[in-house]
Structure 1
């Protein structure tokens, strides 16, 4: 998936990749996602896989447009866009110095395996979680404004925007029921294949790599939110 990286720095994931893997509608303004990617990656991903590993991965997944590679990149982008049903971009749209993001740039097969099995989904979940509050409450020229009306629809069919309790519940659920378990499971998988990830700096003691599984912190089944039935309890 070749995409323009409009953040002016290397990152792991693009807005289209977030929409593909996050539990969201398919029609979301790109900026609502874009401006949360760096925060999400620095908060969770860089810490989860270690800075040197993160830096190495994003350096492989992003390529800067130069005079020499521009024609090749333009062809690859438009081929990718065509496969995804998107309109092609013009030569004039692709400028020298722009950054292109694609997993196809990564030639380390174990990095690609990690991306496809865990890191793509995990990154999307982290960006989605980071987007919860900014997509709910916008910073506008007249102050903080809710993005949606309190209720929309009619004739017995309506949709109400979430309040503080719903937002807090979703944040807690996103972290504890989705992000934490994925990070823990990814850690175990990396440790089981640690010879292929020399830049991973986390302690793999008791991960089961050498036999019996011990000392796992259990976030995937212990640290989880209560079911939604208690959301309105004071």
Structure 2
């Protein structure tokens, strides 16, 4: 019998609330209908009593009741369990923090992107209306401004600019905390584009000897050139001349 009574009371309660929303959901009308239906019910359920006790413990019980009323109306409209619309713990947090921007609303536990899209506008309007009525500030978190992306540094160009300023390869490597071979690779790139004159990096005699080897052997391998030409020619010099020959089209670019 108790179960049947509870079902009848709940059905009558929901019917009265739905009728109040016949011409659209208005919080005040809904609350009035809810209050009237509660009075007409012979007794309140344990769940209703618990909800009222919770509301009484909050700093803003009125907004808690409005939000819960909205939630109950949504559940009646959409069907399904209440947590799919809004759990009570989320309503409590909303009542406590009073978010008035989408970012602040999304920070509430239980409100993800999907619920923000489905219910965000309605929830914000209820809370904003309440804050205006009571002259409360509300919580206004704004979207963080996107960090300005630093332009990607062209490392080769930095080394090239330092070299043009008069620094040696050793000095550039020390300044940039790179290996000398890395700086040589950077400058070799600009030899291959014709922006650096080969003779500013390698003596004419060495350019001639190294060029003759690469052209004759037709195998631009630095290790073989180093073994053939001896220790008085560095890998860096070989790299510079090889890129120079590629720029001139005198050896294969592979």
**Where is the helix percentage greater, Structure 1 or Structure 2?**
2
Computing the radius of gyration from Cα coordinates, the structure with the larger value is 2
Higher RCO (C-alpha under 8 Å, 6+ residues apart):
1
**TM-score bucket (shorter structure):** under 0.3
* TM-score after normalising by structure 1: 0.22
**Where is the strand percentage greater, Structure 1 or Structure 2?**
1
* TM-score after normalising by structure 2: 0.21
